[in-house]
């Protein structure tokens, strides 16, 4: 139901945090790229400089033939730019257009029209700098837009004035030193998902975390999803006889309506829900204890509805009373109570007391249900 590439993403980016072997290998190899760029090496670096680099900086070296190690370095070296920052001295080791040496981004992105017509995309800063201006060879004369970019470039891009060599640092770690972990995170190229970040630390069993992860990614094996893959069943809800989607199981089904009404009566009107995205959006601003307890109660509700659905669809066992799901929900909360942080347990117990009171009130109201 979920692509392996998505499963291997870090937890705060929508995955389960299983390391991707190829991405980890690239991150490990980038340590060697960083050491070469910094000149941090002994005899092995002298050998590479003499045989392959021949006076050129690594990122500007086109020499791709050679040993297996060198071929591997050449294949992945451009990924180092994800976190590399250049401090230009004399400009002899920095590419003008391609390296992130001014405000943390390559000038090819800042001046795309000039870069598109430049004859030497890999030109070094030192080669492009004259005493009082920049000098480049372009394939054609400028139009109005290129003239505008050229004026801005000459105004904002400073000429190198130092005689020391360029220096490189790693912007993805506070110390400025390269780390495999930060490189691995950068190679994912997926933004951090704030609504998934706290899930890995939520006070609930691992099985439930994985279930909630599937739920938040809309990857539950509902009846319609199983039917798409030619699995067993007709894809309809056994209670409502409509297509069984994830939203139907957890929000629209009569069993879901009963549980949501029960929780809303006990915990307040903010537990009104018709759609997952809308419901989570309304609770997105919660922080601290409120957010932790919300996730716990929400997960218990969703797990109750899902296990109830599975008994009906797979085992053909239906509930005798509407209160059966209420008691199951309360049982999950009581079971997970010790997993909550000590300072949250008193508030969680208040939730449990309110839910038990609501259940007793509903039982008195509907003795035959």
What angle separates helix 288-310 from helix 323-336, to the nearest 10 degrees?
130
Name which of 210-219, 224-233, 258-267, 355-364 the model is least confident about: 355-364
Residues 223 and 333 in one domain: yes
Provide the token pair at 77.
């070296």
d(CA 313, CA 233): 8
The span from the CA of 138 to the CA of 116, in Å, is 9
Residue 57 binned pLDDT confidence (cut-offs 50, 70, 90): confident
Instruction: Please report the sign of the dihedral spanned by the C-alpha atoms of residue 290, residue 294, residue 296, residue 297.
Output: positive
Which class for 253: exposed (0-12), middle (13-18), buried (19 or more C-beta within 10 A)?
buried
**What integer pLDDT is reported at residue 130 of this predicted model?**
84
Cβ-contact 218, 304 below 8 angstroms: no
Same domain for 304 and 176: no
Residue bearing the bigger pLDDT, 153 or 201: 153
75-92 confidence digits (pLDDT tens)? 999 898 888 888 888 888
Prediction pTM value? 0.73
Write phi, then psi, for 129 (nearest 5 degrees).
-95, 125
Same domain, 28 and 99: no
32 and 104 in a single domain? The answer is no
Work out whether strand 167-170 and strand 84-87 pair parallel, antiparallel, or are unpaired. antiparallel
187 and 284 in contact (C-beta within 8 Å)? no
Q: Are residues 278 and 293 in the same domain?
A: yes
Last residue of a domain, one of 161, 193, 225: 193
Contact 292, 340 (CB under 8 A): yes
pLDDT tens-place string over residues 35-49:
999 888 889 999 998
Tell me: do 306 and 253 sit in the same domain: yes
- Interaxial angle between packed helices 288-310 and 206-216, expressed in degrees from 0 to 180 and rounded to the nearest 10: 90
Contacts of 112 (CB under 8 A, 6+ apart): none
Do residue 121 and residue 215 come from a single domain? no
Count the Cβ atoms, other than its own, within 10 Å of residue 22: 10
Number of domains composing the chain:
3
Interior angle at CA 18, CA 13 and CA 204, nearest 5: 75
Geometric angle at alpha carbon 75, from 70 and 79, rounded to 5°: 120
User: Taking a C-beta distance cutoff of 8 angstroms, is the pair 354, 266 a contact?
Assistant: yes
Q: What is the pLDDT of residues 163-181, one digit of tens each?
A: 888 888 898 988 889 999 9
Helix residue ranges per DSSP H, the chain = 4-7, 21-38, 43-48, 68-76, 107-110, 112-116, 125-128, 144-156, 180-187, 206-216, 223-228, 246-247, 254-267, 276-282, 288-310, 323-336, 345-365
My answer on whether 13 and 109 are in the same domain is no
**Is the predicted pLDDT of residue 305 greater than 90, yes or no?**
yes
Q: Please check whether residues 160 and 145 belong to one and the same domain.
A: yes
Per-residue confidence (pLDDT) for residue 243, from 0 to 100: 92
Task: Please tell me the predicted confidence (pLDDT) of residue 268.
Answer: 83
Q: So what's the pLDDT on residue 365? A: 55
Q: Are residues 151 and 182 in the same domain?
A: no
Distance CA 313, CA 316 (A): 6
pLDDT of residue 285: 65
DSSP per residue, 103-147: TTB-HHHHSHHHHHTBS-TT-BHHHHB-SSSB---BSS---HHHH
Domain that holds residue 77: 1-83+172-193
Q: Which of 257-271, 275-289, 348-362 has the lowest mean pLDDT?
A: 275-289
- Quick check: 322 pLDDT over 80? no
334 shares its domain with 224? yes
State the sign of the Cα–Cα–Cα–Cα dihedral 350, 356, 361, 366. positive
The H or E element spanning position 169 is strand 167-170
44-55: average pLDDT: 90
| Statement to judge: residues 155 and 31 lie in one domain | no
pLDDT of residue 368: 46
For the cut 90, the answer to whether the pLDDT of residue 65 exceeds it is no
């Amino acid at each position: 139901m979920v692509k392996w590439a998505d499963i291997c993403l870090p937890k705060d980016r929508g995955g389960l945090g299983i390391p991707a072997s190829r991405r980890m290998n690239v991150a490990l190899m980038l340590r060697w790229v960083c050491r070469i760029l910094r000149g941090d090496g002994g005899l092995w670096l002298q050998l590479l400089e003499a045989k392959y680099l021949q006076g050129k900086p690594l990122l500007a070296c086109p020499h791709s033939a050679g040993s297996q190690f060198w071929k591997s370095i050449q294949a992945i070296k451009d990924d180092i730019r994800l976190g590399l920052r250049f401090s230009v001295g004399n400009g002899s080791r920095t590419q003008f257009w391609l390296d992130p040496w001014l405000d943390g981004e390559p000038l090819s992105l800042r001046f795309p029209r000039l870069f598109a017509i430049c004859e030497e995309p890999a030109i070094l800063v030192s080669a492009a700098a004259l005493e009082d201006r920049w000098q480049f060879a372009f394939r054609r004369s400028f139009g109005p837009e290129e003239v505008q970019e050229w004026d801005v470039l000459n105004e904002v891009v400073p000429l190198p004035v130092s005689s020391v060599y360029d220096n490189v640092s790693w912007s993805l770690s506070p110390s400025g030193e390269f780390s495999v972990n930060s490189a691995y995170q950068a190679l994912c190229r997926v933004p951090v998902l704030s609504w998934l970040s706290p899930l890995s630390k939520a006070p609930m069993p691992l099985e439930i975390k994985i279930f909630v992860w599937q739920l938040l990614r809309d990857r539950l094996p509902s009846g319609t999803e199983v039917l798409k893959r030619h699995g067993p069943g007709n894809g309809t809800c056994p209670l409502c006889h409509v297509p069984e989607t994830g939203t139907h199981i957890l929000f629209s089904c009569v069993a879901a309506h009963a549980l949501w009404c029960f929780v809303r009566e006990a915990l307040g009107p903010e537990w009104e829900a018709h759609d997952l995205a809308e419901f989570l959006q309304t609770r997105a601003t919660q922080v601290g204890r409120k957010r932790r307890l919300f996730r716990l109660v929400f997960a218990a509700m969703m797990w109750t509805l899902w296990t109830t659905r599975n008994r009906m669809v797979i085992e053909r066992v239906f509930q005798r009373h509407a209160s059966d799901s209420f008691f199951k929900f309360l049982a999950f909360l009581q079971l997970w109570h010790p997993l909550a942080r000590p300072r949250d347990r008193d508030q969680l117990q208040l939730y449990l007391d309110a839910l038990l009171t609501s259940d007793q009130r509903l039982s008195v109201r509907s003795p035959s249900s």
